[in-house]
Chains A and B, each alone.
Chain A
Amino acid sequence: GNSVTQMEGPVTLSEEAFLTINCTYTATGYPSLFWYVQYPGEGLQLLLKATKADDKGSNKGFEATYRKETTSFHLEKGSVQVSDSAVYFCALTSGAGKFYFGSGTKLNVKP
């Protein structure tokens, strides 16, 4: 079956620190992989995505590379800002629009 596992939070970093949030998956077929972000008081927003192996998704300084050999899609950012404080969800879909999400990782960035 399909599932997503991501590191538990909360993750607390100082501004300008390097961020990694780990995400691994199991899936049938050839899934697309996503990172969604939920800022306080808002809905889920697509942060980035990758649709096939070795693709790199990037947006707002965040990056994640689709690694089929390790079934991973780790989220990274070289220098986080206070405004990046949010809950981050790793997700996959293998068709039919049905998403499988991880449990979410809360990121707190301190000035």
Chain B
Amino acid sequence: EAGVTQFPSHSVIEKGQTVTLRCDPISGHDNLYWYRRVMGKEIKFLLHFVKESKQDESGMPNNRFLAERTGGTYSTLKVQPAELEDSGVYFCASSQQGWMNTEAFFGQGTRLTVV
């Protein structure tokens, strides 16, 4: 069974440009999460989808970030326009239906560098 996959693995863009990150969760997982680790700090929650609906987007830093999950399958996270402080590693995770303390499976992350 394929795990959570993320594209691209690395992205280097200039300040002001747009970048779109993609996450393919494990097939059949209704829950999809985005997290971010900035500069060796803790991994912070960004948002949570249940199927195609945003369950919790309290961690989204500002309106330059837009996440979508069309059809409840893969998800994209777009940053527009990118700023220097957006650099970091973006992780996607998925888990099965249900919400009580379920193990989440993580992708390898996308390392975003804004220069």
Binding site for B on A (CB under 8 A): 4, 31-32, 34, 36, 41-46, 49, 51, 89, 91, 93-104
Contact A102 B101 (CB under 8 A): no
* B40 A104 Cβ-Cβ under 8 A: yes
Name A101's closest neighbour in chain B (CB-CB). Answer: B43
Partner of A97, one of B37, B99, B108: B99
The residue of chain A having its C-beta at the shortest distance from the C-beta of B47 within the complex is A98
Determine the chain A residues whose CB is within 8 A of the CB of B48 once the complex forms. Answer: 96-98
A102 (CB) vs chain B CBs: closest residue: B42
Q: Are B4 and A43 in contact (CB under 8 A)?
A: yes
Cα of A35 to Cα of B55 in the assembled complex, Å: 25
A-B contact pairs, 6 of them (CB 8 A): A4-B42, A41-B108, A43-B109, A44-B109, A51-B101, A101-B44
- With A97-B33, A98-B45 in contact, is A46–B103 under 8 Å at CB? yes
Q: Provided the pairs A43-B109, A44-B91 are in contact, do residues A99 and B4 lie with their beta carbons within 8 angstroms? A: no
Chain B residues with a Cβ closer than 8 Å to the other chain, count: 30
- Judged by a CB distance under 8 angstroms, whether B35 is at the interface is yes
Closest Cβ–Cβ distance, residue A28 to chain B (whole Å):
13
- For B43, what are the chain A residues with a Cβ–Cβ distance below 8 Å? 44, 89, 91, 99, 101, 104
Q: Knowing A42-B108, A43-B91, A43-B108, say if A96 contacts B99 (CB, 8 Å).
A: yes
B106 & A100 in contact (Cβ 8 Å cutoff): no
- A32 / chain B contacts, CB cutoff of 8 Å: 101
Docked Cα-Cα span, A17 to B99, in Å, equals: 38
Say whether, besides A97-B33, A98-B56, A103-B40, A36 and B45 are in contact (CB < 8 Å): no
Question: Are B100 and A95 within 8 A (Cβ)?
Answer: yes
| Given A101-B42, A102-B42, A43 contacting B56 (CB threshold 8 A) | no
Chain A residues near B103 (CB, 8 Å)?
34, 46, 49
Evaluate contact between A103 and B41: CB separation under 8 angstroms.
yes
**Which residues of the other chain, B, contact A91 by a CB distance below 8 angstroms?**
43
Cα–Cα distance between A95 and B45 once the two chains are bound (Å) = 14
